[in-house]
Copies of this chain bind each other. A is one copy, B any other.
Amino acid sequence: MRRIKVTLAYEGTEFHGWQVQPGLRTIQGVLQEALEGLENGPVLVAGSGRTDAGVHALGQVAAFSMKNPIPAENLKRALNQVLPKEIRILTAADCPEVFHPRFDAVSKTYEYRIWRGEICSPFLQRYVHHHPFALDVEKMIEAAPVLEGEHDFSAFAAADERDILGHSKVRRIFSSHLAIQGDNLTYRVRGSGFLKHMVRNIMGTLLEVGKGNLTAAGLEDFLKPGQSIKAGPRALAQGLFLMEVEYPN
């Protein structure tokens, strides 16, 4: 068996997220099906992490083992022939047998895109959260870096995430920035890892800051150990992009 690492982009609108689910169209499922066609046998694809239904990716990383000796570059082309156009393999390369896209990742970068204009272009509407209402963007820009550093992000975890004893919700955020360019408001966050729904919950919370319902100090309170109130609400999936996953050189 050889092991192959791929980076891929996908438009998540018409998928039920990354992870295989019986009877539903998922990125992992469609990818495994394409690979199994080439392998004539089962292939298990591991991703750097699950993305929710409707979330997009510009640089998701996945890996799988297979017997087929096809050169990686040809495999990339063969996969792009059979995959739906909403999923594209950007790179494919042989990698060490022990490589795991989730456990070996040292950082992930997400972007959340908001469109503030009155009318959302039909060509943008699948890729942004349309928010044509008043926002104190300066306050949001000020508040975003509060999340940087090592914190317990329990308040930003999914409401349905079970507390498994020994599963830490401490994560390190390397950078957390909001930028405005015309009617585009883009939040970019890079961290050691993210809990389920964490980026969308952060975005929803930053929007509360913009609406005047929360201060930067209030945002900081959510990071205090032992506090049990949930942040949020969760922002829409369609504005979220997994941009990049980094590994040690």
Contact = CB atoms under 8 A, between A and B. Distances in A.
B122 A87 contact: yes
A244 to B, nearest CB: 15
Nearest to A121: B9
A173 to B, nearest CB: 26
Nearest to A130: B85
Contacts of A80: 119
A82 interface: no
A85 B125 contact: yes
Contacts of A90: 119
A86 B10 contact: no
A137 to B, nearest CB: 23
A88 B56 CA distance: 23
Interface string A117-130: 00111110101000
Interface residues of A, number: 18
Nearest to A84: B122
Contacts of A120: 85, 88
A11 interface: yes
Contact of A125 (B56, B86, B89, B125): B86
A56 B90 CA distance: 27
Nearest to A241: B123
A120 B88 CA distance: 8
A90 B117 CA distance: 12
Interface string A176-207: 00000000000000000000000000000000
A123 B88 CA distance: 10
9 contacts: A9-B121, A10-B122, A11-B122, A11-B123, A56-B122, A85-B125, A86-B125, A87-B122, A90-B119
